[in-house]
Amino acid sequence: MTISLPELLSAVDRVLRLARKPQVHDVVPRALDVDGAIGIVRALLAIRARAQWKDILPRKAEPWEVLSLLLALLELAKQGELRLAQPRAFAAFEITRDSSSEAA
C-alpha cells in the first residue's frame, strides 16, 4: 500500500478531529480566610476546653477551609492561646484551650 504525503496528512487530520478534546477547567482563585477560622476556633474553645480536628472542620469542607483552619490553629498555638497534641502519626489531633492564656 502506497500513500502520498497529502493523503497521510489528511488521515492524520481526520484522526485528530475525531480525538476527544481535552477538558479545560477554569481555576478560580480563592483566598484563605484565616481570620474567620480563628474566630471559629476561639468561639468553640470559649464553650469547650477541648476539641478535636473533626469538631471544627465542616463536613465536606473545601480545601481552602481546611487550610484556613489549619493555619488558624497553628497561629493560635504560636500565640499561646491553645495547645495541639497528636498521640501518633496520622492520628486525630486534640486541641486544648491553654489555661494560662485565660488569666491574661
Asked if pLDDT for residue 27 goes beyond 90, the answer is no
What are the tens digits of pLDDT across the range 62-72? Answer: 889 999 999 99
For the domain that residue 80 is a member of, what is the CATH number?
1.10.10.580
Which carries the bigger pLDDT value, residue 76 or residue 9?
76
In a domain, 16, yes or no: no
In a domain, 21, yes or no: no
Domain around 51: 34-102
What are the tens digits of pLDDT across the range 29-66? Answer: 778 899 999 999 999 999 999 999 989 998 999 889 99
In a domain, 17, yes or no: no
**How many domains, in total, are found in the chain?**
1
Asked if pLDDT for residue 103 goes beyond 50, the answer is no
Q: How far apart are CA 68 and CA 77, in angstroms?
A: 14
In a domain, 40, yes or no: yes
In a domain, 53, yes or no: yes
* Residue-wise burial string across 20-44, b where 16 or more C-beta atoms lie within 10 A, e elsewhere: eeeeeeeeeeeebbbeebbebbeee
